[in-house]
Amino acid sequence: PAVSSLTLTTARAEIGPLRQKLREWGQQYYEADQPTVPDDVYDQQYRRLVEIEERFPELVSPDSPTQQVGGAAASEFTKVQHRIPLLSLGDVFSVDELHGFIERLQQAYPADQEFNCELKIDGLSISLRYEAGRLVQGSTRGNGLIGEDITANIMTIPSIPHQLTRPIDIEVRGECYMGKAAFLKLNERRETEGQPTFANPRNAAAGSLRQLDPQVTASRHLSTFMYNVADYHDVKATTQSELLAELQELGFAINPDYQVASQLATIDAYIAKNQQRRDELAYGIDGIVIKTNSLALQTEIGHTVKVPKWAIAFKFPPEEAHVKLEAIEWTI
Ligand code: NAD
C-alpha cells in the first residue's frame, strides 16, 4: 500500500518487520561483506521506511536503521573509538529531489553558496590518523562511532603515505576501493579456486581490508581517494575544494574529477558528464556527491545523527548488467 494510505496502526505493524529486514540485509552487507539482495532493492525498502517515519514521526526510534550508520565492528578486530563520528550520506535518486535539496540549502543560507561536486566512489570509508606526520592508525567506519583497527592492513596499500610532507597531527578520511581490473582478476581467481566470488567491487574492497592477515590485503590491489579530515582546525583550507588540494600536497591520492559549481545547471552538467563516462573509469562510482564548499558553512549547517546536512549523494540508477541479474534473481 502507498505510504499515504497508511494509518498509525498499519504503519506501526509494518515498521517492525521492515526494520528487521533492513537490519539483516545491513548485517550481511556491512559486517559479512556478502550482500543478500541488490543495492537498489535495499534502497527501495530503506526509502519506504524513511517515508513512513516522515509521515509518522512518533514512530521514529533510535534503533531504526534510519538513525544508525553502517554495521558493528567485527569482534576479531581491536575496536577504535572515533573521536569525531564518521557519518553516512543522505541520498536522492532524481534530479528534481537534488534540486529541492540544493534550493532548500540556498534558501536557509542565502549568502552566495558554492558547491563542490565529487564522484561517489564505490568503496568503503576509512579513517587514517597521523601523529607528527607519521601514520599511526587506520580504521574502518564501523557504526560511525566504533570502527575496526586495520592499521597493519592499511600499511600495505600503496596510495596511503606512511609519512606526510608536513609533520602535523591529523585524521584524514576517505574511500578505500578496488579498481575494476583488480576486481575482475580477483573474482576469476576465486572462481578457479572454488571460493565464493564477491558481489561487487565495494564488497571485494571491504572483504579485502577487513582481513586478519595483512598479506592477504596486500595481494588485493586496493587503492584510496581521500576527501575529508575529522577536524577542520588541522588544515589551512577554507573550502572543500582547497581541502582536496591540501590533502594532495600532504601526499594523499585524491580524485581529480571534482568541480566547484554555484548554479544548478553546472551541477546537472557535471552529473550528466560523469554518468556518461562511468563505464570508462578504472573504478566504480555509484553516484555524485554535492557538498557545500565552505568548510565554515559546513560546520554551521551541521549534521543529523546519521548524515551531514551540507552534503547529498545523487545515486545513479543501477547498471544494465545489474538490472538483468536482479531480474533473474527476483523472477526465480
Ligand atoms: P553510502 O555508501 O550510500 O554513502 C555514504 C558513503 O559514501 C560515505 O560513508 C563514504 O564512504 C562514501 N563516499 C564515496 N565517495 C565519497 C565522496 N566523494 N565524499 C563523501 N563520501 C563519499 O552510505 P552507507 O550508509 O555506507 O550505505 C548505504 C548504501 O549501502 C545504500 O545505498 C545501499 O545501497 C547499500 N547497502 C546495501 C545493502 C544490501 O543488502 N545490498 C545493505 C545495506 C546497505
- Residues spanned by CATH 1.10.287.610 within the chain? 1-68
CATH 3.30.470.30 domain position(s) in the chain:
69-331
Q: Is 315 annotated as a binding residue?
A: yes
User: What does the pLDDT read at residue 320?
Assistant: 56
Is the CB of 227 within 6 Å of ligand 1? yes
* pLDDT beyond 50 at 326: no
Q: What is the pLDDT of residues 217-255, one digit of tens each?
A: 999 999 999 999 999 999 999 999 999 999 999 999 999
Going by alpha carbons, the residue nearest to atom 24 of ligand 1 is 88
Q: Which amino acid is at 120?
A: K
How high is the ipTM of this complex? 0.98
For residues 156 and 217, is the Cβ–Cβ distance under 8 A? yes
CA-proximal residue: ligand 1, atom 36 (nearest): 39
- Alpha-carbon span 241 to 84, nearest angstrom: 21
Name the CATH architecture for the domain at 1-68.
Answer: Orthogonal Bundle (1.10)
- Alpha-carbon distances of 321 from 94, 105, 317, rounded to whole Å: 21, 36, 12
Within its chain, how far is the Cα of 227 from the centroid?
A: 11
Task: Tell me: pLDDT of 329 over 70.
Answer: no
Residue range 82-124, pLDDT digits in tens: 999 999 999 999 999 999 999 999 999 987 789 999 999 999 9
330: pLDDT confidence band, cut at 50, 70 and 90? very low
91: which strand partners?
A: 313
**145 marked as part of a ligand binding site:** no
Ligand 1 geometric centre to CA of 54 (Å): 21
Q: Which CATH superfamily is domain 69-331 in?
A: DNA ligase/mRNA capping enzyme (3.30.470.30)
CB 322 within 8 A of CB 100: no
Grid-cell match 592499521, residue found: 151
Note whether 117 and 268 are within 8 A (CB).
Answer: no
- Pocket lining: 26 vs ligand 1, CB cutoff 6 Å: yes
Q: Is the CB–ligand 1 distance for residue 37 below 6 Å?
A: yes
Nearest of 66, 39, 19 to residue 203 by alpha carbon: 39
Q: Smallest Cα–Cα separation from 295: which of 116, 169, 164? A: 116
